[in-house]
Structure 1
Amino acid sequence: MPPDQTPSSQTRLASGHFEVKMEPQPAGPETAAVEGSGTQLGRMLLHKRFDGDLQGTGEGQMLTAVSDTPGSAGYVAIERFVGTLHGRTGSFVFQHSGQMDRGAQQLAISVVPGSGSGELAGLAGRFVLRIENGQHLYDFDYTL
Structure 2
Amino acid sequence: MVTNATFVIEITPSEGLLPTTGRFDFTKVWSGGAEGTSKGVMLSSGNAAKGTAGFVAMEVFEGRIGSLSGSVSLQQFGTMVGGEQRLTYEVVPGSGTDDFIGITGELHLTIDEDGLHHVRFDIA
3-state DSSP of counterpart to 1:119 = helix
Give the structure 1 partner of residue 56 of structure 2: 76
Structure whose alpha-carbon radius of gyration is higher = 1
- Unaligned 5+ residue runs, structure 2? none
User: Deviation at 1:68?
Assistant: 7.5
Could you report, residue by residue, the CA deviation over 1:83-138 in whole angstroms, capped at 9, with x for unpaired residues? 01113210000011000001111100101100010111111010011011221111
- For residues 42 and 76 of structure 2, what CA distance do their matches in structure 1 show? 9
User: Deviation at 1:43?
Assistant: 0.2
CA RMSD of aligned residues (A): 1.3
Counterpart residue type for residue 30 of structure 2 = F
Q: Normalization by structure 1: what TM-score? A: 0.81
Give the structure 2 partner of residue 31 of structure 1: 18
Q: How many residues align?
A: 123
Q: Which runs of 4+ in 1 moved over 3 A?
A: none
Identity of aligned residues (%): 33
Give the structure 2 partner of residue 115 of structure 1: 95
Give the structure 2 partner of residue 140 of structure 1: 121
- Unaligned 5+ residue runs, structure 1? 1-11, 33-39
Greater share of strand: 2
Give the structure 1 partner of residue 30 of structure 2: 50
- For residues 72 and 107 of structure 1, what CA distance do their matches in structure 2 show? 14
Q: Normalization by structure 2: what TM-score? A: 0.94
Give the structure 2 partner of residue 88 of structure 1: 68
